[in-house]
């Protein structure tokens, strides 16, 4: 059930329900991400990201280098403006600069496949960020992040010092903001934790915890940070308020505020009270099911969708197939026996004839099971069963082996 999570997280089920509230280190003799995105893959990764300069940063001790220093301008030959130049990146690394690649999952297929499985199991969006730091260098100044981060050391070693939060449960707009230099703050604080991570080891940093890392050995450090893009109750409250506002009488919403409200406090007070009263009047009539559906649909669009085939392949009675578990976010059985599969981009309905078989595979968590199209619905005939299998394949819910 937690195959992807277990590769980077100890006790996945506990982590999903109650992630640690303090920095936590997980030691391991296995280095699972090394097989997915090792330091030796960086040449090919950088080759694939040369036309995505916004995802590449170079920093020296916390100072970000202007991208114009390592990207090419458009030439008469028609090369892409802003193309990342690996030779310039290498020169900065030799000077002690660190290389940062955002949205790393978009630029390396093995990581992208793993990322899909991981987000499916956890149920929230995750961004992968790669950090390459030269020997005995520091990439960033002490700072905190607005989101939870799991640091996965892939190659080399990196030492981390962590300090208690200067802002609890940070949000956008807090002061000091996320990413701000907190060197002054840590000068008067003792580290909560100081730890050197080696290959295969992971460090969980809850949002708000101040941290600084440096490669203390005579080797390059390559780590991948998994940034958890979770939602807050404040975000949900704002979405509910939006739903309430759109439920208020349309003619009232379209009417203009009285002129002069900018300078007349009493006049503005009357207008504010009128709007609040309309919202309160609307609250009992709010369609909660609609709000839940709308909010969940919005959340699901942030999760990665699985590849959907652009062309048909031959599927016959002897074709082996396999379910793609990460393509299905939720299922619901209808009264008429049909099975609705909730996908990140829409819904797929399976007729009753195949729903039982499909449900059994999902409930058993048997995503590795191989099956034939005729296994889906033997009672409806070969041709009908093949059509069901084709439907699943085209939606990205099944793969042909």
Separation CA 12–CA 155 (nearest Å): 23
Same domain for 292 and 194, yes or no, is no
Task: State the maximum Cα–Cα separation within the chain, in Å, rounded to a whole number.
Answer: 78
- On whether both 71 and 205 belong to a single domain, the answer is yes
pLDDT of residue 228: 95
Has residue 307 been placed in a domain? no
Q: What span, in angstroms and rounded, lies between the C-alpha atoms of 222 and 205?
A: 17
Note whether residue 314 is domain-resident. Answer: no
- Evaluate whether residue 315 is within a structural domain: no
pTM across the whole model: 0.86
Confidence (pLDDT) at 1: 57
Same domain, 98 and 57: yes
Same-domain status, 243 and 388: no
Say if residue 92 is in the same domain as residue 144.
Answer: yes
Residue from 349, 398, 344 nearest 369 by CA: 398
| Distance in angstroms (rounded) separating the CA atoms of residues 12 and 118 | 11
In order along its 401 residues, the chain shows pLDDT tens digits of 568 888 888 888 899 889 999 999 998 878 888 999 999 999 999 888 877 888 999 999 888 998 888 888 655 554 455 788 889 999 999 999 999 999 999 999 999 999 998 998 888 999 999 999 999 999 899 999 999 999 999 999 999 999 999 999 998 888 888 889 999 999 999 999 999 999 999 999 999 999 999 998 999 999 999 999 999 999 999 999 888 888 888 898 899 999 998 999 999 999 999 999 988 888 888 888 888 888 888 888 788 878 888 888 888 888 998 888 888 888 888 888 888 888 877 788 888 777 888 788 777 766 678 888 878 766 677 888 888 888 888 888 888 88
Q: What is the pLDDT of residue 57?
A: 93
Cα-based angle 13, 10, 18 (whole degrees, multiple of 5): 45
Domain that holds residue 392: 320-400
131 within 8 A of 223, measured Cβ to Cβ: yes
Structural domain total, the chain: 3
Report which of 319, 306, 333, 315 is spatially closest to residue 397, judged by C-alpha positions.
306
Statement to judge: residues 184 and 61 lie in one domain: yes
If asked whether residues 176 and 271 sit together in one domain, one would say no
CA–CA separation, 18 vs 236, rounded Å? 20
Strand partners, 101: 56, 130
Strands (E), 164-274: 193-197, 202-205, 210-214, 221-229
Answer whether residue 256 is part of any domain: yes
Whether residue 365 is found in the same domain as residue 257? no
3-state secondary structure of 398: strand
Residue 213 and residue 266 in one domain: no
Residue with tokens 């090919």: 44
The CATH number of residue 94's host domain is 2.60.120.650
What is the DSSP-derived secondary structure letter of residue 174?
Answer: -
pLDDT at position 81: 58
Instruction: Looking at the structure, tell me whether residues 252 and 214 fall in a common domain.
Output: no
What letter would DSSP give residue 98?
A: E
Do residue 175 and residue 28 come from a single domain?
yes
In a domain? residue 195: yes
Are 204 and 8 in contact by the 8 Å Cβ rule? The answer is: no
pLDDT of residue 77: 54
Q: Are residues 81 and 158 in the same domain?
A: yes
Spatial strand order of the sheet with 370-372 comes to: 370-372, 320-323, 398-400
């Amino acid at each position: 059930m937690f195959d992807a999570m277990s590769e980077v997280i100890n006790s996945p089920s506990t982590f999903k329900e109650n992630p640690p509230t303090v920095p936590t280190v997980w030691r391991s003799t296995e280095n699972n991400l090394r097989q997915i995105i090792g330091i030796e893959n960086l040449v090919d990764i950088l080759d694939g990201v040369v036309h995505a300069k916004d995802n590449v940063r170079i920093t020296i001790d916390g100072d970000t280098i202007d991208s114009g220093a390592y990207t090419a301008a458009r030439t008469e030959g028609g090369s892409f403006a802003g193309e990342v130049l690996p030779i310039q990146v290498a020169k900065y690394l030799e000077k002690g600069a660190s290389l940062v690649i955002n949205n790393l999952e978009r630029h390396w297929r093995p990581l992208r496949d793993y990322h899909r499985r991981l987000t499916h199991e956890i149920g929230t969006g995750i961004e992968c960020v790669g950090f390459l730091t030269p020997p005995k260098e520091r990439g960033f100044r002490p700072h905190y992040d607005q989101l939870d981060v799991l640091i996965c050391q892939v190659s080399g070693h990196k030492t981390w010092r962590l300090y208690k939060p200067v802002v609890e449960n940070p949000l956008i707009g807090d002061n000091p903001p996320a990413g701000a230099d907190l060197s002054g703050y840590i000068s008067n604080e003792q580290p909560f934790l100081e730890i050197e991570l080696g290959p295969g080891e992971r460090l969980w940093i809850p949002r708000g915890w101040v941290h600084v890392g440096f490669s203390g050995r005579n080797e390059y450090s390559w780590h991948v940070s998994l940034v958890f893009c979770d939602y807050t109750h404040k975000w949900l409250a704002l979405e509910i308020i939006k739903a309430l506002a759109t439920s208020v009488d349309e003619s009232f919403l379209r009417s203009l505020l009285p002129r002069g409200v900018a300078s007349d406090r009493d006049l503005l007070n009357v207008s504010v009270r009128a709007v609040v009263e309309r919202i309160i009047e609307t609250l009992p009539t709010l369609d909660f099911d609609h709000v839940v559906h709308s909010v969940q649909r919005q959340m699901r669009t942030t999760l990665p969708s699985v590849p959907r085939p652009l062309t048909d392949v031959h599927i016959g009675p002897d074709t082996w197939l396999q379910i793609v578990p990460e393509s299905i976010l939720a299922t619901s059985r209808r009264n008429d026996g049909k099975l609705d599969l909730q996908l990140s981009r829409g819904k797929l309905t399976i007729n009753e004839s195949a729903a039982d078989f499909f449900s059994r595979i999902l409930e058993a968590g048997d995503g590795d099971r191989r099956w034939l199209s005729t296994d889906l619905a033997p009672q409806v005939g070969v041709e009908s069963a093949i059509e069901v299998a084709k439907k699943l394949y085209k939606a990205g819910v099944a793969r042909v082996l």
